[in-house]
């Protein structure tokens, strides 16, 4: 035990009393010679910290008993500095902090062993913590399988490819906006037409609001007749547009034995 008469003290809250006994009143606290934190007389003595006896491989039975007795001690405070120094001094135990404290599910403070923690950051690779008792901060890295990493990488590549494709399409639309708009406009306009297939020797008819138009296809020309007996001759030229007699005619396709016309009223 420590000689209290020769140690300096101050009035403050003992962190172990505050956490374990929920006592926050100020009392005489003394500095630990190992971790240099301040504790009351009851909790000043350092003891094994961070790991339990099951987390240490022990060769010497006496050393193993010491750890078990130390761990069961209700007084004192968990001290990582003391634990490391004591075990290295005796050299009887093959010790190491459990890797779960860094990459697994353990959430004890690596510095003082306290369970009073708060999360300061959460990332795909790690979670960051801060001890509410000693203020120590550390990161706990996640174990990520190779398969998961490959899947995340594949998803990232797919997202980039999709974004690049979208940007290319957007640029094409911007650079060719007028052409695309014109094509869409023509398509919409063409949908208003009535398709008329005029075969040689036949006279198909189309009616618009009670007015009947007849079409005759002869070599190199199309003849259009109106209900009033009027008629017009138009050249059979693919792509030609004729507007007369109250209708509009587009020569869509021209063949030797028939012709395809698109017809609509002009109003």
Domain count, the chain: 3
List the single range of 28-42, 109-123, 165-179, 222-236 with lowest mean pLDDT: 109-123
pLDDT at 198 (0 to 100): 94
- With bands split at pLDDT 50, 70 and 90, how would you rate the model's confidence at 97? very low
One domain for residues 6 and 69: yes
pTM of the model: 0.34
What pLDDT shows up at residue 94? Answer: 45
Are 84 and 126 in a shared domain? no
Task: From 113, 143, 173, give the residue that closes a domain.
Answer: 143
Does any domain span residue 150? Answer: no
| Structural domain ending residue among the three candidates 94, 116, 131 | 94
Identify the band that residue 95 occupies on the pLDDT scale cut at 50, 70 and 90: very low
Across the range 130-141, mean pLDDT stands at 75
pLDDT at 30: 92
What range defines the domain where residue 112 resides? 98-143
Strands 46-47 and 77-78, bridge-based pairing: parallel
Of 137 and 122, the structure prediction assigns the larger pLDDT to 137
Residue 186 forms part of a structural domain? no
Dig out the tokens for 92 from the structure: 């009887």
Across the range 81-108, mean pLDDT stands at: 54
Domain identity same for 219 and 243: yes
Per-residue pLDDT, 150 = 66
Please name the helix (run of DSSP H) or strand (run of DSSP E) that holds residue 145, with its range, or none: none
* Nearest C-alpha neighbor of 136 from the set 243, 6, 35, 257: 35
- pLDDT of 144 over the 60 cut: no
CA 156 to chain centre: 9
Domain boundary among 77, 94, 111: 94
What would the DSSP string read from start to end of 17-41? IIIII-----EEEEE-TTT--EE-T
Q: Which residues pair with 117 in a beta bridge?
A: 131
Question: Could you tell me what percent of the chain has a pLDDT over 90?
Answer: 19
Instruction: Classify residue 161: in a domain, yes or no.
Output: no
Same domain, 199 and 221: yes
Q: What is the pLDDT of residues 149-204, one digit of tens each?
A: 667 677 778 888 888 888 888 888 788 777 766 666 555 555 588 899 999 989 99
């Amino acid at each position: 035990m420590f000689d209290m008469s020769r140690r300096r003290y101050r009035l403050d809250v003992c962190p172990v009393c505050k956490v374990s006994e929920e006592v926050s009143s100020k009392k005489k606290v003394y500095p630990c010679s190992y971790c240099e934190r301040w504790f009351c007389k009851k909790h000043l003595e350092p003891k094994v910290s961070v790991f339990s006896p099951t987390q240490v491989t022990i060769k010497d039975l006496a050393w193993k008993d010491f750890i078990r007795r130390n761990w069961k001690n209700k007084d004192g405070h968990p001290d990582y500095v003391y634990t490391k120094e004591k075990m290295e001094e005796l050299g009887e135990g093959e010790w190491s902090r459990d890797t779960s404290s860094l990459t697994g599910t353990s959430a004890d403070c690596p510095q003082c062993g306290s369970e009073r923690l708060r999360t300061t950051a959460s990332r795909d690779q790690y979670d960051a913590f801060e001890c509410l008792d000693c203020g120590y901060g550390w990161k706990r890295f996640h174990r990520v399988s190779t398969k998961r990493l490959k899947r995340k990488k594949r998803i990232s590549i797919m997202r980039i490819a999709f974004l690049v494709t979208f940007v290319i399409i957007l640029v094409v639309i911007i650079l060719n906006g007028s052409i695309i708009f014109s094509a869409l406009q023509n398509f919409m306009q063409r949908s208003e037409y009535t398709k008329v297939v005029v075969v040689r020797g036949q006279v198909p008819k189309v009616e618009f609001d009670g007015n009947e138009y007849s079409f005759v296809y002869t070599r190199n020309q199309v003849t259009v007749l109106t209900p009033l007996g009027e008629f017009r001759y138009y050249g059979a030229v693919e792509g030609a547009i004729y507007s007369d007699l109250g209708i509009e005619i587009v020569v869509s396709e021209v063949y030797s034995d028939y012709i395809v016309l698109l017809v609509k009223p002009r109003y």
